[in-house]
Amino acid sequence: MASRIAIIILFHVFLSLNSHPAKAQAWIKAGYWYYYNGFPVSNINSTLYTHLICAAADLNSSSYQLSIPSSYDRVFSAFTNTVKRKNPSITTLLSIGGWDTKYSTLSAMAGNSTYRKSFIDDSIKTARLYGFQGLDFSWLSVSTGDKMDMDNMGTLFEEWRAAMALETRNSSLSELILTAAVQLSLTLDSGSLPIDSIRRNLNWIHVLAYDYYVPEGFKFTAASAALYALDDSDVSTDSGIAAWINGGLPASKLVLGLPFFGYAWKLANPNENSIGAPATGPAVTEAGDMSYKEINNYSKTQGAVGPIYNSSYVVNYVIVGSDWISFDGVDVVRIKVSYAKEKGLLGYVVWEVSYDDNWVLSQAG
C-alpha cells in the first residue's frame, strides 16, 4: 500500500515536473517575423528555425485587450499553419508590444490588477484562437530605473503564469510558453528588472543584443552589436550577457538576439574609415538602418570595399565612398552562435527573418 502511494506520488511529481515551465528545452533557433515588413509568411524557410514569433499584437488603451493589426488578422490567424507546412514541428509564439505599443498603455495595464486580468485573459484566449503555442511580451519602452514599472512587470509575469497553468489544468492542451523580449542592459541587479519573477515565471527571455550605437545618436562609426569591446567602459553583448547572469538569471534562460541588419553612417572624412571614425549622421536610409539583404545589394551595385572583418569587436563593415556600413555577416553570426553555446545560453533569436539574403545567415546559425 505504502509503495503504491509512493508510486502515485512519484507519478504526480513527474507530471508536475513535466508540465513545469522550467523543463529542459532543446537548443532554440528562433526568428521574429514582423508584419510591417510585408514579407509573405509562406516564403519563410521555416525548416531553419525551431521557433517563429509573429510580431506583433498591440494593446487597446481602454480595454487592455490585444489588438491585431486589422488588415493582418487573417495572416496572423493562418501564421502557425502556414509555417508548419514546411516544418511541422515548429513552435510559434505571438509577440505583444514592441516599439509600436505606447509606454503609457503598457504601464497602466501593468499597474492595475483589473487591467492586468483583462490583458492576461484576452492574451490566452487570443493565443488559443489564433493557434499560437506561446506569447512573447515586449515592453521595450520601459526604463529599468523605474521601480514601480519593474515591480508591476514582476507581478504581471506571476499572474500570467498562474493563469496559463490554470487554463491547462483540466485540458489536454500543453501549457502556453511565456517569454519576454528585453533590451541589453549593463546595469542589472535585483532592484532593476524583476529577475526573480522572470526566472520563476518565464520560459526564457530574448535579449535584444543590438542597437548599442546608432547613426542618429552617435557621430562616430561603430559596431552597433559588438560581441566584445576594446575596453570595459564600452558596451558589448558579452558584458550585457554577463550582467544578466551576475544579476541572478541562469544562462539557460537566455536566448541571444542577433541583428539581421546593420547601420550606415556618413563619414566626416572618407579617408578616416576605421571603427570609431568621425561621422556626420545616418547614410543611405533616413535612420541609416539597412537589412542584410539591402547591404549586400548596395555593396554589389555600388562596388563597395569589403566586407572587412574586425575580430576585436566581431563585426563586418563595408565602405562605399563616404558611406560606412557595419553589420553581422555569415562569419559574425557563426561566432555569436558559438559564443551562445559556449556560455550555456538556450539559443538565439533573429530580428528579422525577412532581412536575410537567400537564407545564408539563417543557415549559418
Ligand X SMILES: *[C@@H]1O[C@H](CO)[C@@H](O)[C@H](O)[C@H]1NC(C)=O
For ligand X, the closer of residues 15 and 166 by Cβ is 166
SS3 of 118-151: HHHHHHHHHHHHHCCCEEEEECCCCCCCCHHHHH
Q: Counting contacts by CB under 6 A, is residue 87 touching ligand X?
A: no
The conformational region for residue 64 under phi > 0 = left, psi -120 to 50 = alpha, else beta, is left
**From 19, 81, 269, 312, residue interacting with ligand X (rule: CB under 6 A):** 312
For ligand X, the closer of residues 151 and 245 by Cβ is 151
Q: Counting contacts by CB under 6 A, is residue 269 touching ligand X?
A: no
Shortest CA distance to 262 belongs to which of 288, 244, 242, 236? 288
For ligand X, the closer of residues 37 and 274 by Cβ is 274
- For the bound state, the minimum distance from the C-beta of residue 81 to ligand X, rounded and expressed in Å, comes to 19
**From 28, 41, 44, 48, residue interacting with ligand X (rule: CB under 6 A):** 48
- For the bound state, the minimum distance from the C-beta of residue 354 to ligand X, rounded and expressed in Å, comes to 13
Q: Counting contacts by CB under 6 A, is residue 310 touching ligand X?
A: yes
Q: 3-state DSSP call for residue 250?
A: coil
Q: Counting contacts by CB under 6 A, is residue 285 touching ligand X?
A: no
Cα 227 from Cα 206, distance rounded (Å)? 16
89 alpha-carbon distance from chain centroid:
21
For ligand X, how many residues bind (rule: CB under 6 A)?
A: 26
Strand partners, 54: 33, 94
Cα 25 from Cα 94, distance rounded (Å)? 19
Could you say which residues in the range 200-259 bind ligand X, by CB under 6 A?
Answer: none
Q: Counting contacts by CB under 6 A, is residue 37 touching ligand X?
A: no
Cell numbers of 287, please?
535612420
SS3 of 1-35: CHHHHHHHHHHHHHHHHHHCCCCCCCCEEEEEEEH
Q: Counting contacts by CB under 6 A, is residue 276 touching ligand X?
A: yes
- For the bound state, the minimum distance from the C-beta of residue 67 to ligand X, rounded and expressed in Å, comes to 5
> Grid cell 499560437 — which residue?
132
For ligand X, the closer of residues 7 and 166 by Cβ is 166
Query: Which span (28-36, 196-204, 250-258, 295-303) binds ligand X, by CB under 6 A?
Result: 295-303
Could you say which residues in the range 159-178 bind ligand X, by CB under 6 A?
Answer: 166, 169-170
Q: Which segments of the chain are extended strands (E)?
A: 28-34, 51-59, 66-67, 91-97, 134-138, 177-183, 204-208, 254-259, 261-267, 279-282, 289-291, 305-310, 315-320, 323-327, 347-351
Q: Counting contacts by CB under 6 A, is residue 145 touching ligand X?
A: no
For ligand X, the closer of residues 103 and 228 by Cβ is 228
Query: Which span (56-64, 96-104, 134-142, 195-203) binds ligand X, by CB under 6 A?
Result: 56-64
Cα 26 from Cα 9, distance rounded (Å)? 27
Q: Counting contacts by CB under 6 A, is residue 60 touching ligand X?
A: yes
Q: Counting contacts by CB under 6 A, is residue 301 touching ligand X?
A: yes
Is the C-alpha dihedral spanning 211, 338, 354, 254 positive or negative? negative
Residue ranges binding ligand X (CB under 6 A): 45, 47-48, 60, 62-63, 67, 112, 114, 166, 169-170, 274-276, 294, 297-298, 301-302, 310-313, 359, 363
